[in-house]
Amino acid sequence: MERLECLTSWMTMAQARCAYVVAVSTVSVRTLATVLGVCAFAGVVTNSFVLQPLTWRAAPGGPGLVLGLFSTLVTVAGPPLVYLLLTRRLRHRPATFATVPGTAAFTVPMAQRYPGGVGVALMMVAGMLVPSERVPNTDRVRLDTLSGFVWVFAVLALILFGLGVANIWLMRYCAVLTPDNLTVRTLFGSCEVPWSQLYPGQPLMPSRRAWTLPLRYRQSDGRARTLGLSLSYLHVDRVFLATVVRHYAEHAEHRAHIGTRPELERLEAGFAAWRATAGSYHPVLIAR
C-alpha cells in the first residue's frame, strides 16, 4: 500500500514535470539546436584550418599531438554536450497522453529534444566533410583543391548541413489514438491502423534500448505488414504506450472512451498500480 502511494506521488511529480516540458517553447529548443549546430560546424572547420596548425607551431612533437587531440575533442563533443545539458529537463518521457477538448483522441506529441540532437550531429558531421590538406613543408592547412573529389565532399557537406537544419525545424512526428484506429502522422503523410486489424499480443513490450515499437497488423487484403513507431521521436513512456496500445487492441469495450479525461485517469492509475507491483518491462492489462 505504501509503495502504491509512493508511486501515486511519483506520478503527480511526473505530471508536474510534464507541464514544465509543455511550457518550454518549441521554438526555443529549435533555436538552441540551430545555434549549437552552426557552432559545431564552425568549430570543426576552425579546428581543421586554424587550431591544428597552431598546435603544430606552438608545441611540435608529442605535446602538439596532445593539444591537437584536445582541441578536436572539445570542438567535436562540446556543442552536443552543451545541447544535452541545456535540454536535460526534456529527458523525462511521461506516462500519459495529451488531450484536446472536444476531440475524441489521445495524442502522443513529438519529443522536442531528439530532433534537435540529430540536427546538431548532422551539422557537425557536415563540417568534418570539408576537405583540407596540409601545405607541403609548412604548418598551414588549406582547402584541398587538388583532389578530384573536392566538389563531391563539398556537396555532401552542404546536403548534411541542410538535412540537419531541416530535421530541427521541419520534422513532424506524432501518434494519435482514436476509438477507431491508431494513426501515425509524419512530415510525409500518415498511416492508419484499425484496432481490429492488429495481430493478437501486439505490440510486445519494448526493451530499454529499443528504437522502434513494431506493430504487426493485417491489411484489408489479408497481407501482413509491420508499422514501426519511432520511440525516439515520441514524447511518452515507451512501456506505457505499448501497454495502452495492446490494451485497446484486446479490449474493444474501452475504445469508445478514448479522448475523455476519466479514461486517461483510468489508464494512468492502472499503469501506476502495475508499476508498484510488477516492475517496468513486462506485459500488463490496464485496470478495467
At 116-154, the pLDDT tens digits run 999 999 999 999 888 877 777 777 777 776 666 778 888
Examine residue 73 and state whether it is found in any structural domain, yes or no: yes
Examine residue 102 and state whether it is found in any structural domain, yes or no: no
pLDDT at 271: 86
The reply to whether 179 and 129 lie within a common domain is no
Examine residue 104 and state whether it is found in any structural domain, yes or no: no
The reply to whether 262 and 232 lie within a common domain is yes
Stretch (H or E) spanning 97: none
Examine residue 75 and state whether it is found in any structural domain, yes or no: yes
Percent of the chain with pLDDT over 70: 84
> Could you read off the pLDDT of 206-233 as tens digits, one per residue?
887 888 999 999 888 888 899 889 999 9
Cβ burial, residue 179 (10 Å; 0-12/13-18/19+): middle
The reply to whether 148 and 135 lie within a common domain is yes
Distance CA 117, CA 115 (A): 5
The reply to whether 252 and 119 lie within a common domain is no
> Could you read off the pLDDT of 40-66 as tens digits, one per residue?
999 998 888 887 777 777 666 667 677
18, 94 in Cβ contact below 8 A? yes
Query: What's the domain count of the chain?
Result: 2
Examine residue 148 and state whether it is found in any structural domain, yes or no: yes
The reply to whether 188 and 48 lie within a common domain is no
> Could you read off the pLDDT of 67-100 as tens digits, one per residue?
778 888 888 889 999 999 999 888 888 889 998 8
68, 52 in Cβ contact below 8 A? yes
The reply to whether 152 and 195 lie within a common domain is no
pLDDT at 140: 76
The reply to whether 69 and 127 lie within a common domain is yes
pLDDT at 34: 95
244, 263 in Cβ contact below 8 A? no
Residue 122: which domain range?
2-94+112-169
The reply to whether 155 and 13 lie within a common domain is yes
The reply to whether 193 and 80 lie within a common domain is no
Of the three residues 169, 187, 209, the one that is the final residue of a domain is: 169
The reply to whether 198 and 259 lie within a common domain is yes
Examine residue 143 and state whether it is found in any structural domain, yes or no: yes
Task: Collect all residues with Cβ–Cβ distance below 8 Å to 10 and sequence separation of at least 6.
Answer: 272
